[in-house]
Copies of this chain bind each other. A is one copy, B any other.
Amino acid sequence: MTERLENLVGAFANSIADAVLTAAKDEVDVAGPSAAALALIQHEPGIAIETLRTGLALTHAGTVRLIDRLEGAGLVERSASQIDKRAVALSLTAEGEAVAAAILARRQSVISHSLKSLSVKEREALERIVEKLLQATVKDVAHAYAICRLCDDEACEDCPIEAGLESSPT
Name A's B-contacting residues (CB within 8 A): 3-18, 20, 22, 57, 107-108, 111-112, 114-118, 122-123, 125-127, 129-134, 136-137, 146-152, 155-158, 160-161
Given A6-B115, A122-B129, the answer on whether A14 and B17 have CB atoms closer than 8 Å is yes
CB <8 Å contact, A18 and B134: no
Q: Is the CB of A130 within 8 A of B9?
A: yes
User: What are 21 A-B contacts defined by CB distance under 8 Å?
Assistant: A3-B112, A3-B152, A5-B123, A7-B151, A9-B115, A10-B20, A11-B148, A11-B151, A13-B16, A14-B17, A15-B134, A17-B17, A18-B57, A18-B146, A18-B147, A22-B57, A114-B136, A115-B133, A117-B132, A117-B133, A122-B132
In this complex, what residue of B is CB-closest to A17? B17
In the complex with contacts A7-B156, A127-B5, A117-B136 CB distance below 8 A: yes
Instruction: Check A12–B130 contact: CB distance below 8 A.
Output: yes
A109: nearest chain-B partner, CB-CB: B6
